[in-house]
Amino acid sequence: MAVRLRPKFELRRMRPDDLEEVMVIERAAFRHPWSTELFRRELEHDWSTILVCVEPLTSAAGGRATERIVGFLIYWLVHDEVHILNVAVSPENRRRGIARVLMGETEKRAVQAGATLMTLEVRRSNGAALELYRAFDYRAVGVRPNYYVDEGEDAIVMVKELRKR
Protein backbone atom coordinates (compact mmCIF):
# COMPACT_ATOMS: atom_id res chain seq x y z
CA MET A 1 0.00 0.00 0.00
CA ALA A 2 1.40 3.42 -0.95
CA VAL A 3 1.60 6.04 1.75
CA ARG A 4 0.89 9.59 0.65
CA LEU A 5 2.94 12.19 2.49
CA ARG A 6 1.68 15.71 3.12
CA PRO A 7 3.63 18.28 1.17
CA LYS A 8 6.10 20.22 3.19
CA PHE A 9 5.18 23.84 3.78
CA GLU A 10 7.68 26.54 4.63
CA LEU A 11 6.95 29.74 6.50
CA ARG A 12 8.76 33.03 6.14
CA ARG A 13 8.14 36.74 6.38
CA MET A 14 6.53 38.32 3.36
CA ARG A 15 8.84 40.28 1.06
CA PRO A 16 7.78 43.18 -1.18
CA ASP A 17 8.15 40.99 -4.26
CA ASP A 18 5.51 38.61 -2.82
CA LEU A 19 2.84 41.31 -2.98
CA GLU A 20 1.25 40.34 -6.29
CA GLU A 21 0.89 36.68 -5.30
CA VAL A 22 -0.47 37.58 -1.84
CA MET A 23 -3.01 39.97 -3.37
CA VAL A 24 -4.39 37.16 -5.55
CA ILE A 25 -5.12 35.17 -2.38
CA GLU A 26 -6.50 38.24 -0.55
CA ARG A 27 -8.93 39.02 -3.38
CA ALA A 28 -10.08 35.40 -3.62
CA ALA A 29 -10.53 35.03 0.14
CA PHE A 30 -12.45 38.19 1.05
CA ARG A 31 -15.48 40.03 -0.29
CA HIS A 32 -13.84 43.31 0.75
CA PRO A 33 -10.11 42.72 0.34
CA TRP A 34 -7.39 44.94 1.70
CA SER A 35 -5.74 47.24 -0.83
CA THR A 36 -2.24 46.77 -2.16
CA GLU A 37 -1.32 50.00 -0.37
CA LEU A 38 -2.46 48.61 3.00
CA PHE A 39 -0.22 45.57 2.52
CA ARG A 40 2.70 47.82 1.60
CA ARG A 41 2.18 49.80 4.80
CA GLU A 42 2.02 46.64 6.91
CA LEU A 43 5.39 45.59 5.47
CA GLU A 44 6.90 48.86 6.76
CA HIS A 45 5.58 48.80 10.36
CA ASP A 46 7.93 47.46 13.03
CA TRP A 47 5.03 45.96 14.99
CA SER A 48 3.48 44.18 12.00
CA THR A 49 4.45 40.78 10.60
CA ILE A 50 3.06 39.11 7.52
CA LEU A 51 3.89 35.42 7.46
CA VAL A 52 3.54 33.60 4.16
CA CYS A 53 3.16 29.87 3.78
CA VAL A 54 4.98 28.65 0.70
CA GLU A 55 4.82 25.30 -0.98
CA PRO A 56 8.09 24.31 -2.63
CA LEU A 57 7.67 23.24 -6.25
CA THR A 58 10.09 21.66 -8.69
CA SER A 59 9.70 22.43 -12.35
CA ALA A 60 10.25 19.62 -14.81
CA ALA A 61 12.52 21.77 -16.95
CA GLY A 62 15.93 21.45 -15.39
CA GLY A 63 14.60 20.56 -11.94
CA ARG A 64 14.90 24.16 -10.77
CA ALA A 65 13.12 24.62 -7.46
CA THR A 66 10.44 27.30 -7.22
CA GLU A 67 7.73 28.03 -4.74
CA ARG A 68 4.19 29.31 -4.61
CA ILE A 69 2.48 31.15 -1.79
CA VAL A 70 -0.57 29.24 -0.59
CA GLY A 71 -1.58 31.32 2.44
CA PHE A 72 -0.65 34.14 4.77
CA LEU A 73 -1.31 35.55 8.22
CA ILE A 74 -0.90 39.15 9.40
CA TYR A 75 -0.34 39.92 13.06
CA TRP A 76 0.70 42.82 15.24
CA LEU A 77 2.93 42.48 18.27
CA VAL A 78 2.29 45.39 20.63
CA HIS A 79 3.89 45.14 24.07
CA ASP A 80 2.84 41.72 25.39
CA GLU A 81 -0.12 41.19 23.05
CA VAL A 82 -0.39 39.63 19.60
CA HIS A 83 -3.39 40.66 17.55
CA ILE A 84 -4.20 38.57 14.46
CA LEU A 85 -5.62 40.80 11.73
CA ASN A 86 -5.97 38.55 8.72
CA VAL A 87 -5.63 34.86 7.84
CA ALA A 88 -6.16 33.67 4.28
CA VAL A 89 -5.52 30.53 2.25
CA SER A 90 -5.95 30.27 -1.52
CA PRO A 91 -9.28 28.56 -2.27
CA GLU A 92 -7.67 25.61 -4.08
CA ASN A 93 -5.42 24.92 -1.07
CA ARG A 94 -8.00 25.01 1.73
CA ARG A 95 -8.47 22.01 4.04
CA ARG A 96 -4.75 21.14 3.81
CA GLY A 97 -3.78 22.41 7.26
CA ILE A 98 -2.22 25.65 5.99
CA ALA A 99 -4.14 27.99 8.31
CA ARG A 100 -3.31 25.62 11.18
CA VAL A 101 0.42 25.81 10.33
CA LEU A 102 0.26 29.62 10.18
CA MET A 103 -1.62 29.86 13.49
CA GLY A 104 0.85 27.50 15.18
CA GLU A 105 3.87 29.46 13.97
CA THR A 106 2.30 32.75 15.05
CA GLU A 107 1.69 31.39 18.53
CA LYS A 108 5.26 30.10 18.72
CA ARG A 109 6.59 33.53 17.74
CA ALA A 110 4.27 35.20 20.26
CA VAL A 111 5.62 33.04 23.08
CA GLN A 112 9.22 33.70 21.99
CA ALA A 113 8.49 37.45 22.03
CA GLY A 114 7.12 37.24 25.58
CA ALA A 115 3.48 37.85 24.66
CA THR A 116 0.89 36.85 27.25
CA LEU A 117 -2.28 37.35 25.20
CA MET A 118 -3.44 36.71 21.65
CA THR A 119 -6.58 38.34 20.23
CA LEU A 120 -8.60 38.37 17.03
CA GLU A 121 -12.02 39.15 15.59
CA VAL A 122 -13.93 36.74 13.38
CA ARG A 123 -17.18 36.97 11.46
CA ARG A 124 -20.04 35.34 13.33
CA SER A 125 -20.88 33.41 10.12
CA ASN A 126 -17.35 32.04 9.56
CA GLY A 127 -17.80 28.56 10.99
CA ALA A 128 -14.54 27.17 9.62
CA ALA A 129 -12.49 29.95 11.22
CA LEU A 130 -14.36 29.66 14.53
CA GLU A 131 -13.63 25.93 14.57
CA LEU A 132 -9.93 26.56 13.85
CA TYR A 133 -9.58 29.19 16.58
CA ARG A 134 -11.37 27.00 19.13
CA ALA A 135 -8.97 24.17 18.26
CA PHE A 136 -6.17 26.56 19.31
CA ASP A 137 -8.00 27.23 22.62
CA TYR A 138 -9.26 30.70 21.76
CA ARG A 139 -12.42 31.62 23.61
CA ALA A 140 -15.11 34.11 22.73
CA VAL A 141 -15.14 37.08 25.11
CA GLY A 142 -17.46 39.50 23.37
CA VAL A 143 -19.15 40.75 20.25
CA ARG A 144 -18.47 43.85 18.17
CA PRO A 145 -21.87 44.68 16.68
CA ASN A 146 -21.87 45.62 12.99
CA TYR A 147 -18.06 45.30 12.86
CA TYR A 148 -18.14 44.26 9.21
CA VAL A 149 -20.00 47.39 8.13
CA ASP A 150 -20.61 46.48 4.48
CA GLU A 151 -22.73 43.46 5.46
CA GLY A 152 -23.74 44.64 8.92
CA GLU A 153 -22.27 41.46 10.37
CA ASP A 154 -21.07 41.17 13.94
CA ALA A 155 -17.55 40.10 14.88
CA ILE A 156 -16.86 37.69 17.69
CA VAL A 157 -13.89 38.81 19.77
CA MET A 158 -11.70 35.88 20.77
CA VAL A 159 -8.70 35.69 23.09
CA LYS A 160 -6.12 33.18 24.16
CA GLU A 161 -3.94 33.58 27.22
CA LEU A 162 -0.38 32.36 26.78
CA ARG A 163 1.55 30.80 29.61
CA LYS A 164 4.72 32.49 30.74
CA ARG A 165 7.86 30.41 30.40
For the chain, the domains span 10-161
Model confidence at 8, in pLDDT bands (50, 70, 90)? Answer: confident
Sign of the torsion formed by the C-alpha atoms of 104, 110, 114 and 117 = negative
Is this model's pTM higher than 0.85 or not? yes
Cβ-proximal residues to 112 (8 Å cutoff; 6+ apart), any chain = none
pLDDT of residue 5: 46
Split at pLDDT 50, 70, 90, the class of 23 is very high
- Indicate the average pLDDT of the chain: 90
* Percentage of the chain modeled with pLDDT above 90: 77
Q: How far apart are the first and last CA of the chain?
A: 44
How much is the average pLDDT of 15-25?
A: 96
Q: How far apart are CA 69 and CA 13, in angstroms?
A: 11
* DSSP string for 20-79: HHHHHHHHHH-SSPPPHHHHHHHHH-TTEEEEEEEEEEE-TTTT-EEEEEEEEEEEEEET
φ, ψ for residue 49, nearest 5 deg: -130, 135
Has residue 1 got a pLDDT over 80? no
Query: Which distant-in-sequence residues (6+ apart) come within 8 Å of 142 by Cβ?
Result: 156, 157
- Please give the share of the chain, as a percent, with pLDDT higher than 70: 90
pLDDT band at 149 (very low <50, low <70, confident <90, very high): confident
Cβ–Cβ < 8 Å for 58, 65: yes
Give the pLDDT confidence of 83-111 residue by residue, as tens digits.
999 999 999 999 889 999 999 999 999 99
Alpha carbon distances (Å) from 39 to 1, 23, 51, 88, 162: 46, 9, 12, 13, 28
- Percentages helix, strand, coil for the chain, rounded to the nearest 5? 30, 40, 30
Structural class in CATH, domain 10-161: alpha beta
pLDDT digits 0-9 by tens, 98-145: 999 999 999 999 999 999 999 999 999 999 999 999 999 999 999 999
Q: What are 60-82's pLDDT values in tens digits?
A: 555 556 889 999 999 999 999 99
